[in-house]
């Protein structure tokens, strides 16, 4: 099929590339000329494992092209995917300005029947608005379908080529049949439903995952007070198939471009129909507080932070991405600077993006390596669980630091590693010493 993707952010770019990989003719459009030029020059504007290889391959095969000419790209398409951003407005609601603009652009470019698919995350009822905008501006026939996207940054290619499910929200049987056929090479797990249910499935899924994270973070906070180990608790809970083991990793809370934005938006969606989503409001509040546990632990260990040198490992909101949107590091570093600390920060990939958005850039020392960031520090805080940090020799690390204080915001180090290196070690929801650990590992049943 001929497919056009409008918006070459994570969703438009990765989906477009993956649909070309399974044999479709794909055109990716963006109004940002800089991105299009990069893509046409063989560069990839985002860091995403495996993406560049697929782009090079499919461009070479003539199945994938990049342009800022929207009209021509719509002309040649059977299906037009909308994948532009839906950022938060100051009140938490989704900003639909880009969506509405693209709906107008598509309408004015139409030259025959088109299926318009919304992949962006949009509030319930938005696809009806898109339909209304398009029908006002064209007499060509069309259908509007909601196919929400569930990929994760860092594993976006794998998630797109091997999705858990595809949700197709359509009021048109013709469009639904076409889209089932298009997605069939990816999975058999395809659910066709009404448009509004599809829109809600996306928000409900993200809100549920965010709830799991805040739930386990609160359990972690209690574990710290009662002497239990949250990693064991999560593992023990996860063996129950009804609970499942994923998204129960305690830490400093979720960040990224989606969970924070989509939880706020769903609270607003509910509020607009006079429903107070109390549970989700608490999820958001717990998440915001969780990142400041790092500051509390630092103060517990060092006292006043004024003049103390604090190393930061990890700026991205999670590993394997250069995305720093809503990253916990933004708030944590701001709080450290406010407390008068000297901050030395390092991330393997996300330094440049972080510096672009971080206010107070000039007061942070940007380190060239993990060890540079740790050198002469009074404490080191691990905020993103990059593999590079897990593999560091802790005995070497201890030697270059001023004081052996390590705050592990993602529970990446084992107790054996820590006990050997004799750090003053704080993690999230784990007791300091674990004499039973080796015994436990040796008898633990592998599920
Ligand atoms: N980033 C992620 O991992 C996921 C994002 N989503 C949702 O997908 C949507 C897109 O997210 P991202 O890809 O992260 O967005 P993004 O903000 O990174 O990229 C959007 C792109 O659309 C382009 N654009 C905006 N208006 C345009 C127009 N009129 N014509 C052509 N191009 C235009 C922008 O220049 C930008 O390159 C959002 O609704 C998001 O919530 C859903 C699942 C995963
Ligand atoms: O709508 C979206 O944009 C996407 O949002 C998330 O994907 P993403 O934000 O890329 O990353 P996740 O892997 O979900 O992680 C989100 C945040 O939660 C944190 N997290 C995740 C899992 C966990 O157990 N604990 C935890 O703290 C991560 O560190 C990260 O900060 C969802 O997982 C995707 O399904 C969805 O498509």
Helix (H, G, I), strand (E, B) or coil at 4: strand
In testing the pocket of ligand 2, which one of 14, 254, 284, 383 has its CB within 8 Å of the most ligand atoms?
254
Is residue 349 within 8 A of residue 319, CB to CB? The reply is no
Q: What is the pLDDT of residue 443?
A: 54
Q: Which amino acid residue places its CA nearest to atom 16 of ligand 1?
A: 9
Residues 301-322 have a mean pLDDT of 96
Alpha carbon distance 349, 354 (integer Å): 10
Q: What is the pLDDT of residue 355?
A: 95
Is residue 115 within 8 A of residue 145, CB to CB? The reply is yes
Annotated catalytic residue: which of 223, 258, 377, 381?
258
- Which segments of 41-190 does DSSP mark as H helices, in order? 51-60, 70-75, 97-109, 126-137, 156-161, 173-183
Nearest alpha carbon to residue 391 among 410, 417, 426, 429: 417
Distances (CA, A) of 234 to 15, 76, 250, 290, 387: 33, 50, 9, 17, 21
441: confidence class by pLDDT, cuts 50, 70, 90: low
Q: What is the pLDDT of residue 432?
A: 66
33: confidence class by pLDDT, cuts 50, 70, 90: very high
Whether the per-residue pLDDT at 438 is higher than 80: the answer is no
435: confidence class by pLDDT, cuts 50, 70, 90: very low
135: confidence class by pLDDT, cuts 50, 70, 90: very high
- β partners of residue 94: 88
pLDDT digits (tens, 9 = 90+) for 183-194: 999 999 999 999
In testing the pocket of ligand 1, which one of 5, 6, 7 has its CB within 8 Å of the most ligand atoms?
7
For domain 213-426, say whether CATH 3.90.1310.10 is its number. no
Whether the per-residue pLDDT at 248 is higher than 50: the answer is yes
Whether the per-residue pLDDT at 342 is higher than 90: the answer is yes
C-alpha 179 – ligand 1 centre gap (Å):
21
Whether the per-residue pLDDT at 236 is higher than 90: the answer is yes
pLDDT digits (tens, 9 = 90+) for 383-409: 999 999 998 999 999 999 999 999 999
Alpha carbon distance 353, 302 (integer Å): 30
421: confidence class by pLDDT, cuts 50, 70, 90: confident
Structural domain boundaries of the chain? 2-193, 213-426
Whether the per-residue pLDDT at 446 is higher than 80: the answer is no
Spell out which residues line ligand 2, taking CB within 6 angstroms: 121, 149-153, 206, 209, 213, 247-249, 251, 254-256, 258-259, 317-318
pLDDT digits (tens, 9 = 90+) for 343-375: 999 999 999 999 999 987 788 999 999 999 999
Alpha carbon distance 152, 128 (integer Å): 27
Nearest alpha carbon to residue 334 among 346, 324, 343: 343
**2-193 and 213-426 share one fold:** yes
Q: Which amino acid residue places its CA nearest to atom 42 of ligand 1?
A: 149
Ligand number nearest CA of 102 is 1
Mean of the per-residue pLDDT values for the chain? 94
Query: What is the share, in percent, of the chain residues with pLDDT greater than 70?
Result: 96
Residues 307-318 have a mean pLDDT of 97
Q: What is the pLDDT of residue 442?
A: 52
CATH class of 2-193: alpha beta
Q: Which amino acid residue places its CA nearest to atom 32 of ligand 2?
A: 152
Sheet holding 166-169, edge to edge: 64-67, 25-29, 2-6, 79-82, 114-118, 142-146, 166-169, 190-193
Q: What is the pLDDT of residue 447?
A: 42
Residues 16-31 have a mean pLDDT of 98
Four-residue CA torsion sign, 131, 268, 294, 435: negative
Q: What is the pLDDT of residue 437?
A: 52
Question: Is 258 assigned a catalytic role?
Answer: yes
In testing the pocket of ligand 1, which one of 13, 16, 27, 30 has its CB within 8 Å of the most ligand atoms?
30
- β partners of residue 117: 81, 145
């Amino acid at each position: 099929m001929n497919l056009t993707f409008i918006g070459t952010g994570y969703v438009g770019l990765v989906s477009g590339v993956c649909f070309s990989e399974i044999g479709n003719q794909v055109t990716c459009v963006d109004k940002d000329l800089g991105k299009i030029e990069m893509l046409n020059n063989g560069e990839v504007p985002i860091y995403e494992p495996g993406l560049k290889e697929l782009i090079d391959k499919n461009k070479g095969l003539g199945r994938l092209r990049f342009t800022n000419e929207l009209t021509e790209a719509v002309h040649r398409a059977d299906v037009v995917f909308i994948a532009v951003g839906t950022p938060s407005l100051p009140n938490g609601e989704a900003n639909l300005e880009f969506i509405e603009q693209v709906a107008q652009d598509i309408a004015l470019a139409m030259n025959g029947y088109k299926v318009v698919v919304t992949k962006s995350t949009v509030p319930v009822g938005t696809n009806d608005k898109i339909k209304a905008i398009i029908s006002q501006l064209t007499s060509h026939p069309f259908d509007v379908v909601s196919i929400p996207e569930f990929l994760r940054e860092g594993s976006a290619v794998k998630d797109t080529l091997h999705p858990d499910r595809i949700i197709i929200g359509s009021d048109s049987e013709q469009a639904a049949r076409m889209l089932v056929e298009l997605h069939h090479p990816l999975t058999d797990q395809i659910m066709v439903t009404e448009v509004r249910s599809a829109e809600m499935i996306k928000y409900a899924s993200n809100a549920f995952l965010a709830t799991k994270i805040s739930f386990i973070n609160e359990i972690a906070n209690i574990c710290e007070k009662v002497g239990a180990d949250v990693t064991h608790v999560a593992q023990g809970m996860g063996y129950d198939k009804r609970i499942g083991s994923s998204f129960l990793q305690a830490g400093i809370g979720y960040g990224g471009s989606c969970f924070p934005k989509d939880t706020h938006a769903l609270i607003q969606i509910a509020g607009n129909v006079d429903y107070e989503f109390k549970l989700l409001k608490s999820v958001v509040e717990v998440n915001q507080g969780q990142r400041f546990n790092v500051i509390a632990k630092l103060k517990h260990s060092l006292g006043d932070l004024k003049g103390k040198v604090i190393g930061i490992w990890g700026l991205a909101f999670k590993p394997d991405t250069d995305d720093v949107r809503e990253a916990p590091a933004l708030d944590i570093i701001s709080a450290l600077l406010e407390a008068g600390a000297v901050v030395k920060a390092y991330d393997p990939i996300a330094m440049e993006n972080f510096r672009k958005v971080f206010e107070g850039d000039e007061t942070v020392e940007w380190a060239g390596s993990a060890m540079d960031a740790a050198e002469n520090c009074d404490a080191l805080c691990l905020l993103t669980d990059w593999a590079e940090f897990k593999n560091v020799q802790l005995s070497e690390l201890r030697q270059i630091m001023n004081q052996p204080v390590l705050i592990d915001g993602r529970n990446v180090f084992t107790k054996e590693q820590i006990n050997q290196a004799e750090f003053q070690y704080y993690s999230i929801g784990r007791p300091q010493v674990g004499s039973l650990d080796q015994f436990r590992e040796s008898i633990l049943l592998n599920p």
